[in-house]
């Protein structure tokens, strides 16, 4: 697992670094004269992407984990306040890299999307199911979160024929 994580970090870093060399304008502005940051923008983006992919929601926990497991990849790791400030200033860069990584995969251009969403109930009675125009779209199934069987659409944007879900 450690080798795979190292390979992931390396691939993310190289991709981000190449992007920054091609298009330097998404990176946060810095004056020509001054103290250069010890953590490069490519390293910052790599850390942020890995934090998201590995499911760390707390920046402090992620930095603690990084210090103990990723020190050989990142010689300098900022403290939590500095990491947070740098992330906020690099928000546009993170968006660009995320989009680049998404468009670089086959999932981006695939015509089948896998979506996990709350089912939007379309009907309960057998008569409703028989006369509905949603025959090819909605399915009858069990919703564990509501503990009941229902006939529903299971995509994130409800169709016009389905009632909007109640809050």
pLDDT in tens, the chain (167 residues): 567 888 989 998 998 888 888 877 777 777 778 888 888 889 999 999 999 988 899 999 999 999 999 999 998 999 999 999 999 988 888 988 888 888 887 777 777 666 666 666 777 777 777 777 776 677 777 777 767 777 776 544 444 444 444 44
Q: Closest Cα to residue 45, out of 2, 99, 122, 121? A: 99
Do the beta carbons of residue 165 and residue 120 sit within 8 Å? yes
> Which own/partner pairs from 22-26 qualify as long-range (CB within 8 Å, at least 24 positions apart)?
23/96, 26/92, 26/93, 26/96
Provide the residue ranges of all domains of the chain, joining segments of one domain with +. Answer: 2-103, 115-167
Query: Is the pTM of the predicted complex or chain greater than 0.85?
Result: no
């Amino acid at each position: 697992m450690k080798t795979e994580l190292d390979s992931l970090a390396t691939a993310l870093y190289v991709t981000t670094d190449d992007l920054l060399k091609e298009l330097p304008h998404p990176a946060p502005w810095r004056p020509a004269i001054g103290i250069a940051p010890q953590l490069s923008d490519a390293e910052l983006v790599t850390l942020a992407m890995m934090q998201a992919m590995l499911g760390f929601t707390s920046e402090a926990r992620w930095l603690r984990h990084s210090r103990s497991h990723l020190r050989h990849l990142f010689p300098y790791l900022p403290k939590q306040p500095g990491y947070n400030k740098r992330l906020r200033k690099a928000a546009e860069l993170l968006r660009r890299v995320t989009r680049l990584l998404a468009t670089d995969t086959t999932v981006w251009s695939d015509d089948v999307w896998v979506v996990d969403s709350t089912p939007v109930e379309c009907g309960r009675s057998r008569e409703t199911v028989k006369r509905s125009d949603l025959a090819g779209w909605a399915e009858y199934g069990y919703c564990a979160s509501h503990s009941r069987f229902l006939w529903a659409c299971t995509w994130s944007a409800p169709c016009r024929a389905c009632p909007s879900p109640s809050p």
